[in-house]
Structure 1
Amino acid sequence: MAYVDVGHNPWLIAVSFVVALVAGATGLFLTRELSRKSVLQKKLSVALAAVTLGTGIWSMHFVAMLGLRMPILFYYDAAITLVSALIAILIVTLALILLHFTRRTPTTIVAAGTLVGAGVLAMHYVGMAGMQLCQPVYSAVGVISSSILAIGLCILAFGIAYGTRSNRNIVIGTVCFGVAVTAVHFLAMAGTNFIELSGTHEIGPLISNETMAIGVILSSFAIFGIFLWVGSTLLMPAENQPAERQAASPPETLSTTKPSASDGLMSGSWLPCEREGSKVRVPASEIAFVRADGHYTQVYTSKGRYFCVWPITEASKRLLPDGFIKVHRSYIVNPSKVVLFERDKDKGRCSFEPADLPKVPVSRSHLKDAQSAFA
């Protein structure tokens, strides 16, 4: 059996990596702050993100395949190519449903990363089956190593992006996603040889490399751009602007003087807190919830609990205009930090990430507002 010599176009390899990065950034951006959106906005955001990430995986693969150089003519079957794209979109959709419509735990994140890693592999090998006039021959080492790499890197990407939903982690998760999709493709290709065939066995019409190059690149960036525009305009929660302003306020040393009636929001979106003898400003963007403690409050964040000299009424004046909601006479909650809302008859409770944060009760009088905020 004589194998065909294989090479790659370095420019198209670079373009394929850019496609993966743009897809990852767009998809992860679309799934930010879903707890602060309406039910319809949340579903639409997840749907757009699933199509974006799935299309990005598929597009990266075929742009890279267009860079494949062999001394023979070869084409792609359109029907099999379409099936491979649908596989990627479907499996990414299942992963995002796990992440955004169930309780998000480390196990859930691992399961979602495993699903996407398996989807990358399935899309790759189904897409390779659509090659005409040549036949790919796989090695066991190539299949096994690419499988391990796909699942491992996708778990890493989702673990970083969903461990803490910050802009920094989303950027790092985007890079991990782009590296994962690209590295899996080329590791799988390194373990693949090709033999020439005398005829085709197509299911649908054939597509030339030139036509596919134009179609895949243009359609991918058009989809990413349109979805990004929709997500940043039509699907953005009303509280988004204050939340972004809060995120820019760093912790700093301060006095613990209680606010005056005229203090209002002019002093910034933070609470004066103490922990282990140190006085700090805790930005509202880092607060999961605030609990009344007599004439003072306890402030809970992912980094731990802080003591605040303000009563719950003063904390509410500062935080409610910035998107927090009152769910109980003793609790105010940051909706962007809630990962699960559970209703029990005429009451409810909120869960947060990390899982060791206490659950917050939702009273009957605040149940309707909570359901609207956490849907």
Structure 2
Amino acid sequence: MPILDYTHNLWLVAASLCVAMIAGFTGLSLTQGLSKRSVNQRKLAISMAAIALGGGIWSMHFVAMLGLQLPIEFYFDATVTLISALVAILVVGVALLLLHFRRRTPATLAGAGIIVGLGIIAMHYIGMAGLQLCRPLYSPGGITLAVLGSCALNIAAFWIAYGRRNHRNILLGTVCFGTAVFVVHFVAIWGTAFVATGTETEVGPMIGKEVLAIGVVLSSFVLCAAFLLTGISFVTPIQAALAPDTDIRQQPAKDMIAPKFARQIPYEQDGRTHFFDAGSVAAIRAEGHYTHIYAQGKRYFCVWSITEAERRLDPATFTKTHRSYLVNPAYVESFERLKDNGICHMNLPGLPRVPVSRARLKAVREVLGV
């Protein structure tokens, strides 16, 4: 069979890139600040983000394929096309669950990128299997390059977007994610040839490809806009704009509101969120974007960052000894002065000693009465 020549409708190519970008922005924005929310709220936000990101991946692919111009008519099998969309949503959901319900490490970020990278490839080739009236022929080199490129680019996208969860990184991650999906699609197409397998008299779609593409693009934008309006606010509220270490007690009396400190500290165990009374926690140690809390002779994982813990907890109960440690003075067994810093001896499993930085030395000594 002769190999068919093909070109692309550049307007639909540009539209597919826009779809990938807006989907990336929506998904990454919906997952910002989830550590401050309950487990059910996190699950809901992840579900919405998976639909936005996964649906955006599929929409980008579908619009780009509708922009493919062959010398014959072709259309897509509806069932196979639906399966490819569900695969994209599923793999993105798995990756987001990994990122938001496990400790976020370089290995976790890489794992999430690989899962989404392979998911994009699976979605692409499943979708291509739905082509009717023509058949794609793949080259081993094209498949290999698409797989490696997809994994590498998606690892980079997650690494950037989750390196620091701020607006700048979300925007950079959006660009990287959208570019990754876009580039992988056309790398895969570059390694694909097409041959005719049917006649143009066979029944095809009643809607033109351009009209169908416009419908998919508009649907994607409306869905993402709805999720953004209901799920997040990208404009930082005034109260959140205060620096983490801003002391509300330093505000003018007329504007001062009595701070409400958390009475309980959450920790994750057996897939559920439990709570310790704040006074029963001996120490809190930073661990990346999260913390470990030490209570009842054991160590537990907490979704709060050390900055959030310091902001939420009563300074009368917890004292900051170091940028990575908060200590309950009631559990300090002894204090050791070391020139311009010190050590709090805690006798806790996995945390026998807590460093006291030079900047915090005077405050810690005052709290301990030494």
TM-score (norm 2): 0.69
Instruction: Map 1:223-262 to 2 at 5 A.
Output: 223-232=223-232, 241-246=238-243
* Aligned CA distance change for structure 1 residues 361 and 215 (closer, same or farther; 3 Å): farther
Superposed counterparts of 1:197-276, under 5 Å: 197-198=197-198, 209-232=209-232, 241-246=238-243, 264-266=250-252
CA drift of 1:11 comes to 1.1
The CA distance in 1 between the partners of 2:250 and 2:263, in whole Å, is 15
Shift of 1:209: 2.0
Q: Output the amino acid matched with 2:86.
A: L
In 2: Cα distance, 1:343 partner to 1:359 partner = 14
The 1-side partners of 2:67 and 2:292 are apart by 45
Matched-pair contact (CA < 8 Å) for 2:19–2:60? yes
Letter in 1 for 2:251: L
Aligned length: 297
Please name the residue that 1:43 is paired with.
43
Counterparts of 2:328 and 2:39, CA distance in 1: 19
Residue matched to 1:173: 173
Counterpart of 1:80 in structure 2 is 80
Deviation at 1:199, TM superposition (A): 5.4
Contact 2:26 2:52 survives alignment (8 Å): yes
Look up the equivalent residue of 2:108 and give its one-letter code.
T
Report the equivalent of 2:52: 52
Does 2:65 align with 1:65?
Answer: yes
Secondary structure at the counterpart of residue 195 of structure 1: strand
Contact 1:348/1:361 (8 A) holds in 2: no
Change (3 A) 1:191 1:43: same
Unmatched tracts of structure 1, length 5 or more: 250-258, 268-316, 364-375
Which residue pairs with 2:290 in the alignment? 338
**Residue type of the alignment partner of 1:225:** A
Partner Cα separation in structure 1 for residue 211 and residue 195 of structure 2? 24
Please tell me the residue identity of whatever aligns with 2:33. Answer: E
After TM superposition, list the pairs within 5 Å mapping 1:100-249 onto structure 2: 100-198=100-198, 209-232=209-232, 241-246=238-243
- CA shift for structure 1 position 36: 1.2
Q: Deviations over 1:302-341 (max 9, x none)?
A: xxxxxxxxxxxxxxx999569998845887899x953677
Between structure 1 and structure 2, the one with the greater Rg is: 2
How many Å separate the matches in 2 of 1:123 and 1:49?
18
Matched residue SS, 2:123: helix
Cα distance in 2 between the residues matched to 1:16 and 1:221: 11
Give the Cα separation in 1 of the matches to 2:92 and 2:325.
Answer: 30
1:255 alignment counterpart:
none
Verify the 8 A CA contact 1:109 1:158 in the aligned structure 2.
yes
Q: Deviations over 1:132-174 (max 9, x none)?
A: 0000111111100011100000000001111111111111111
Q: Name the SS of the counterpart of 1:2 in structure 2.
A: coil
Amino acid aligned to 2:223: I
Q: Is the 8 A contact 2:46 2:96 kept in 1?
A: yes
1:12 equivalent to 2:12? Answer: yes
What's the secondary structure of 2:23's corresponding residue? helix
Question: Closer, same or farther in 2 for the Cα pair 1:265/1:183, shift >3 Å?
Answer: same
1:176-223 deviations in whole A, cap 9, x for unaligned?
0011000000011011110011259x9x98875245313311211111
Instruction: Please give the per-residue CA displacement for 1:339-366, whole angstroms capped at 9, x wherever unaligned.
Output: 6779879984547779xx8576799xxx
RMSD: 4.1
**How far apart in 1 are the matches of 2:50 and 2:137?**
31
Counterpart code for 1:265:
Q
- Tell me the secondary structure at the aligned position of residue 246 of structure 1: coil
Structure 1 residue 84: Cα displacement: 0.2
Shift of 1:104: 1.0
- Please identify runs of 4+ aligned residues in structure 1 that moved more than 4 A: 204-208, 317-334, 339-349, 351-354, 357-363
Aligned AA (1:188): A
Residues 5 and 162 of structure 1, relative CA distance in 2, 3 Å threshold? same
Q: 1:211 to 1:12 in 2, by over 3 A?
A: closer
CA contact (8 A) 1:243 1:323 kept: no
Q: Which amino acid aligns with 1:46?
A: I
| Distance in 2 between residues matched to 1:361 and 1:82, nearest whole Å | 53
Query: 1:94 maps to what in 2?
Result: 94
